[in-house]
Amino acid sequence: MNLRILVLLLVFSSCSHMNGGGSKALHPDWSKAQATGDKFVVSTQSERASQAGKLMIEQGGNIIDAFAATSFVLAVEEPYATGIGGGGFLLFRHAATGKVVAYDFREQAPAKAGDKLFLKADGSVDAERSKTGAHAAGVPGLVAGILEIHNLYGRLSREKVIKPAIELAESGFKVSSGFAYTLKESKDRLSKYRGSRDLFFKNGEVLKEGDLFQQKDLAETLRTISKKGRDGFYKGKIAWATVMYLHKNDGLHTISDFVRYRPKKRDPIKGTYNGYTVYGMPPPSSGGILVQQILNTLEGARLGNGMPFDVDNVHKTTIAMQTAFADRGKYFGDADFIDFPQAKLLSEDWAAEHRKLLDSKRALSADEISTAKGFPKEPDHTVHFSMADQEGNVLASTQTINGWYGNAMVVPGTGILMNNEMDDFSAAPGASNLFGAYGSAANKVEGRKRPLSSMSPTLIFKNGEPRYALGSPNGTRIISCVALTTLNLVEYGMSLKNAIAAPRYHHQWRPDELWVEPYFPTKTKDELAALGYKIQEKTWGCKVQGVSWSPGKLSAVADPRGSASALGL
Ligand code: DON
């Protein structure tokens, strides 16, 4: 490693920012954000969830028992980010078979949904309808996904892996400052629905920091799931209560939508970079392909001087992001419903086309990349965790209810907060979603289709052995955060800790602006401005959780930008 890289790594390994800060010299608290282990490691943004995973291993369980327990605890602890009314993805390297498998337990549109769902009578887009209320909710996939995966690979009983979540819902916990903030911000939406008022309000006000948050109904629902398995959620009393409530609020969901919901096992996206093999999530996520497209475009371009913040390298990486996101806007949707040009997008010819733009001596506008239209907005949240064990089982899972508190509806008597994942569809060609992501007809609403996602659980291998598992929350920003962390590891040779701590930047083609974190190097920022980039300095919600694996050496790093919890055993 040359001296310049070393100096740079020392600079940003000692600085970061906590969420929402904006100061340029924040020092992360690494005390809970890194861990090593002989048997097992986990990184999340929640100590309770990490502990639940570790507990399963201590009780004689395996990594999938840990996955299930951690998922259910997160679903109880972070109702603003995830929940059993949501969905997610898992990328799993199964050591016994040596195979990498992708599980899609994404929400699904009700059968009756169609492409006019989010249009007003005059044909314009009704943006609120896809975010709040019954129409915003897809049929949840989380419970079906976790239980099916656990059934296939888990060692402990279903009751054991759900128990920590039931206990947490039953006993409750104190509302943290972050939780209180999201409640305050979401007060108006939540106040519209009785179930949400009952759960999140006290004396007419949303719960405050330090208040006890108990979810007795959710504990009972989880007990039913624990006893009956998926049928406890997708059939019978709970499913009927959910469907009736959605129906009463003008929803299109039927009991058949719930009964028929199935998670899907899919072939992961597989690509290479610099001798590493990178696995990602296929459609309905755009994440795996976009991360690989960014890598493919850059690999042939040779980021020669090894400096991650050299202006030329940031400029090229930004153009690689812009071209990949332009493709996202044009081609992507649920590949079970459209003619999706996956092979073309991942081909060397396609990368070579994109690579031609890298020689530009100035910033490129969205129109120079492509001609479609879109516009921005920005909220936060979702969860990601990564795990590894001594046998070489490695996993990355991202789970969500989409925006804060999903569609804002808690189904009375069940504790289930429904997602607003339907907003990830494109309401009309050219319309954009919560994350400013532009979409085409490829991602239009259709019955039983799954909305396009950016979630990017990623596994990285070298010489046939797993090395890293990664992922993050934060909508479209997930893709750039995961791509940059991957580049930091496989191009710039950083440690996992430095790769996660390094300042980030993001360009999603539209809007025509480059985001940089507050502690992004000033010199590079000035040089980028001189190239014509419209730069926004801001913090955003990516929290990359990673683990690294090599024989006999497991480590975990959770993003110190949040409430990191890395644990080892
Ligand atoms: O699937 C997606 O891409 C989004 N629904 C993820 C939402 C998310 O990450 C929110 N976090 N800030």
DSSP 208-242: -TT-EE--HHHHHHHHHHHHHTTHHHHSHHHHHHH
Question: Best substitution site from 82, 381, 402, 419 to test ligand 1's pocket, by max atoms within 8 Å of Cβ?
Answer: 402
pTM for the structure as a whole: 0.94
The pLDDT of 312-338, averaged and rounded, is 96
Give residue for tokens 């046939």: 464
Residue 14, pLDDT above cutoff 90: no
Q: What is the pLDDT of residue 271?
A: 98
Q: Cβ neighbours of residue 287 under 8 Å, at least 6 residues apart?
A: 280, 281, 453, 454, 455, 456, 457, 458, 478, 479, 482
Residue 372, pLDDT above cutoff 80: no
The pLDDT of 229-248, averaged and rounded, is 98
Omega of the bond leading into 511 within 30 degrees of 0 (cis): yes
* Residue nearest atom 2 in ligand 1 by C-alpha distance: 453
Of the candidate ranges 77-91, 195-209, 430-444, 465-479, the one whose mean pLDDT is the lowest = 430-444
Q: What is the pLDDT of residue 12?
A: 39
Q: The tokens of 382 are what?
A: 């979702």
The pLDDT of 252-278, averaged and rounded, is 98
Catalytic choice (82, 317, 323, 382) = 382
The per-residue pLDDT of the chain, averaged, comes to 92
Question: What structural domains does the chain harbor?
Answer: 20-33+266-378+455-568 (3.60.20.40), 34-263+380-443 (no CATH)
Residue 305, pLDDT above cutoff 90: no
Q: The tokens of 115 are what?
A: 């492409």
- Tell me: the pLDDT tens digits for 164-198? 999 999 999 999 999 999 999 999 999 999 999 99
* Strands across the sheet containing 264-266: 264-266, 99-105, 87-94, 394-400, 383-389, 40-44, 565-568
Torsion angles phi and psi, residue 102, rounded to 5: -115, 130
- Tell me: the pLDDT tens digits for 36-89? 999 999 999 999 999 999 999 999 999 999 999 999 999 999 999 999 999 999
Give residue for tokens 């608290």: 29
Residue 444, pLDDT above cutoff 60: yes
The pLDDT of 210-227, averaged and rounded, is 98
Residue 129, pLDDT above cutoff 90: yes
What atom of ligand 1 comes closest to residue 437's alpha carbon?
Answer: 3
Residue 9, pLDDT above cutoff 80: no
Residue 536, pLDDT above cutoff 50: yes
Question: Best substitution site from 454, 540, 542, 561 to test ligand 1's pocket, by max atoms within 8 Å of Cβ?
Answer: 454
* Residue nearest atom 1 in ligand 1 by C-alpha distance: 453
How far does residue 1's CA lie from ligand 1's centre (Å)? 36
How far does residue 154's CA lie from ligand 1's centre (Å)? 27
Residues with CB under 6 A from ligand 1: 380-382, 400, 402, 421, 424, 453-455, 473-475, 478, 541
More confident residue, 221 or 29: 221
What atom of ligand 1 comes closest to residue 286's alpha carbon?
Answer: 3
How far does residue 542's CA lie from ligand 1's centre (Å)? 10
How far does residue 401's CA lie from ligand 1's centre (Å)? 8
Residue 227, pLDDT above cutoff 80: yes
Q: In the Cβ-directed half-sphere of 142, how many Cα atoms lie within 13 Å? A: 34
Instruction: Measure CA 134 to chain center.
Output: 23
Q: Give the pLDDT band of residue 370 (cuts 50, 70, 90).
A: low
Indicate if 382 belongs to the active site. Answer: yes
Residue 248, pLDDT above cutoff 50: yes
How many Cβ atoms sit within 10 Å of the Cβ of residue 522?
11
Omega of the bond leading into 341 within 30 degrees of 0 (cis): no
Residue 21, pLDDT above cutoff 80: no
Q: What is the pLDDT of residue 567?
A: 98
Share of residues in the chain with pLDDT > 90 (%): 88
What atom of ligand 1 comes closest to residue 379's alpha carbon?
Answer: 12
Q: Give the pLDDT band of residue 272 (cuts 50, 70, 90).
A: very high
Q: What is the pLDDT of residue 27?
A: 65
How far does residue 477's CA lie from ligand 1's centre (Å)? 9
Q: Give the pLDDT band of residue 432 (cuts 50, 70, 90).
A: confident
How far does residue 178's CA lie from ligand 1's centre (Å)? 18
Question: Best substitution site from 382, 404, 434 to test ligand 1's pocket, by max atoms within 8 Å of Cβ?
Answer: 382
The pLDDT of 381-388, averaged and rounded, is 94
Q: What is the pLDDT of residue 301?
A: 85
